Chains A and B, each alone.
Chain A
């Protein structure tokens, strides 16, 4: 399965929003001096960032290459 440019854009947006949310949670956890801060970081922030990065890496696997694009003409 190969993704079109439009599909890639959507996936990049999903990946970006996950990374933005995850890093925002990480910043909040670093500023919050509380025993739950680590839980927030590890189980929310890191998971969101990891999901965003994985979505991005997966999009690279399924991206359309120029050769693929010319084959479809």
Chain B
């Protein structure tokens, strides 16, 4: 069954044919029907194609394989397969606590109202660094990792909220005064510097 991207490509191809027809026979716009065809082919359908294309690219950029297609991100992708439950990203990815095909986006997206747009702008800056300037040796998250990324799912979850340690520091976690990952509790994240001497999980086994 064709997916949304296939349908969008079909719509774009149809619009190309319509625009090519208008290129070859511009005099058809002298009549009322021709004017409607021109309005559809040169304004309405192209606008639909661009809106759909923007949506398709946003969806595509949320996929795990898209994130790790950048050379600098490869070790972060590998770290999802570390065979050690203390590695927070690996444990989430391997046990499907986050959707495996959207693993990066699940924990590294800003869920505020303009979040996806802000993420996209940050992504463009990283593309600039990758292809025009120089990528930094150590990749850091602008503003640090915010607890909201964890609490987006964990807040309200029974095992999280019934944990006495979490209960004691809940207000500090919610206000981001205490970090989930740098306060000594869940501090083993991607740790890409240690990947050369860890065991990896293979899904095929």
Report B-chain residues with C-beta under 8 Å of the C-beta of A27. 9, 12-13
Report B-chain residues with C-beta under 8 Å of the C-beta of A26. 12, 49-50, 53
Cross-chain contact A30 with B46 (CB below 8 angstroms): no
| Stretch in B94-102, B124-132, B148-156, B166-174 with 4+ CB within 8 Å of A | B124-132
Report A-chain residues with C-beta under 8 Å of the C-beta of B20. 16, 20
In terms of DSSP, what is the predominant structure of the interface of chain B?
A: helix
Report B-chain residues with C-beta under 8 Å of the C-beta of A49. 46, 49-50
Cross-chain contact B66 with A53 (CB below 8 angstroms): no
Q: A1-43 interface mask toward B, CB cutoff 8 Å, 1 = contact, 0 = none?
A: 0000100111011011101101110110111011111110110
Report A-chain residues with C-beta under 8 Å of the C-beta of B13. 23, 27
Residue of B nearest to A19 (CB): B19
B22 near A: Cβ within 8 Å?
yes
Q: B103-130 interface mask toward A, CB cutoff 8 Å, 1 = contact, 0 = none?
A: 0000000000000000010011001001
Say yes or no: A37-B49 contact (C-beta < 8 A), given A5-B30, A16-B22.
no
Could you say which of A24, A34, A45 contacts B69, with CB atoms under 8 Å apart? A34
Could you say which of B9, B47, B50, B66 contacts A35, with CB atoms under 8 Å apart? B66
Could you say which of B27, B38, B56 contacts A30, with CB atoms under 8 Å apart? B56
Report B-chain residues with C-beta under 8 Å of the C-beta of A24. 16
Cross-chain contact B53 with A20 (CB below 8 angstroms): no
Could you say which of B15, B26, B65, B127 contacts A23, with CB atoms under 8 Å apart? B15
A57 to B44, CA, bound (A): 11
A32 to B2, CA, bound (A): 17
Chain B nearest CB: distance from A57 CB in Å? 7
Say yes or no: A52-B46 contact (C-beta < 8 A), given A38-B61, A46-B53.
yes
Report which residue of A12, A50, A57 has the largest number of chain B beta carbons within 10 angstroms of its beta carbon. A12
A53 to B38, CA, bound (A): 10
B57 near A: Cβ within 8 Å?
yes
Q: Could you tell me which B residues sit within 8 Å of A by CB distance?
A: 5, 8-9, 12-13, 15-16, 19-20, 22-23, 26-27, 29-30, 38, 41-43, 46-47, 49-50, 53-54, 56-57, 60-61, 65-66, 69-70, 120, 123-124, 127, 130-131
